[in-house]
Amino acid sequence: MFTDALLIGLLAGLAGVDLFDGLTHFHRPVVIGPLVGLILGDVQTGLLVGGSLELVWMGMVPLAGAQPPNVVIGGVIGTAFAILTHADPKVAIGIAVPFAIAVQGCITLLFTAFSPMMHKCDKMVQELNWRGIERVNYLGIAILFCFYFIVAFLPVYFGADAASAMVQKAPTWLLDGLAVAGGMMPAIGFSLLMKIMMKKTYVAYFILGFISVTFLNMPIIAVALGAFAIALIDFFNRSRNEQDGDTNAPSSSTHAQEMEDGI
């Protein structure tokens, strides 16, 4: 278990750095979940939980001080909890989100502690001390890595057995409640995303997808391929219309000549 917890801690540390400094989306649950599953020997559950957690965080967009629950710890702890306790993925989601909220509060306090360094960096800029600014940035990255490593390592190493015993002793009504809450959260995340992206011109596609899944019982891959085909048709139609518009538009030299002739 020590090796597994160590690897998960290193993975969480790298993902935490990517969240704030890399932005390669390596930190997303759909990527973290299968990697945690690979470490713990259950890639299928990791992929399932990671995909479900991705739906939860899909519409949560950080805006300055208004930060959503921490996506890295939610993905890591949620996936590890589901695999180690053999719990239903929905129950794991219900556990991961409150844990992610608590960690995000710690992140806010950590960034508040970082704020005095800004005055030192301003002084370094005035003194043209570029090396000092580089050291401050690398120090911040190292602190973030250590924070995420510790937060992910400790629950997995020390809390795996306790969490498994807790799930086994928990009453059925509690697990059912967590499962219901976990099942609702992906729908909430997806609805938040739709609130941002939905336009009147896209309503017809939404209705078509709803009918395909609900009434025609089509698998999600078939619906996704159909949506991809529609997107390709729309893309090529738009490209062709833009090319036709450029061809029919008068050239700049012709327009200038017409203006000179007074026409």
C-alpha dist (Å) from residue 3 to 26, 32, 50: 22, 17, 22
Give the dihedral of Cα atoms 96, 97, 98, 104; nearest 10 deg.
Answer: 110
**Can you give the pLDDT at residue 250?**
55
**Can you give the pLDDT at residue 249?**
56
**Can you give the pLDDT at residue 161?**
62
3-state secondary structure (DSSP) of residue 63: strand
- Cα(137)–Cα(109) distance, rounded to whole angstroms? 18
**Residues of the chain whose pLDDT is less than 70?**
59, 62-66, 159-170, 174-175, 178-183, 185-186, 244-263
- Cα(75)–Cα(37) distance, rounded to whole angstroms? 11
C-alpha dist (Å) from residue 129 to 49, 132, 138: 46, 5, 15
Report the chain's C-alpha Rg in angstroms.
Answer: 25
C-alpha dist (Å) from residue 221 to 47, 91, 183, 229, 230: 16, 25, 21, 12, 14
Query: Could you say which DSSP state residue 28 is in?
Result: S
Query: Could you say which DSSP state residue 66 is in?
Result: B
Residue 166 is which amino acid?
M
Q: Domains of the chain: which residue ranges?
A: 2-198, 199-248
Residue 161 is which amino acid?
D
Q: At which residue do the structure tokens 């995000």 appear?
A: 104
- Cα(134)–Cα(140) distance, rounded to whole angstroms? 10
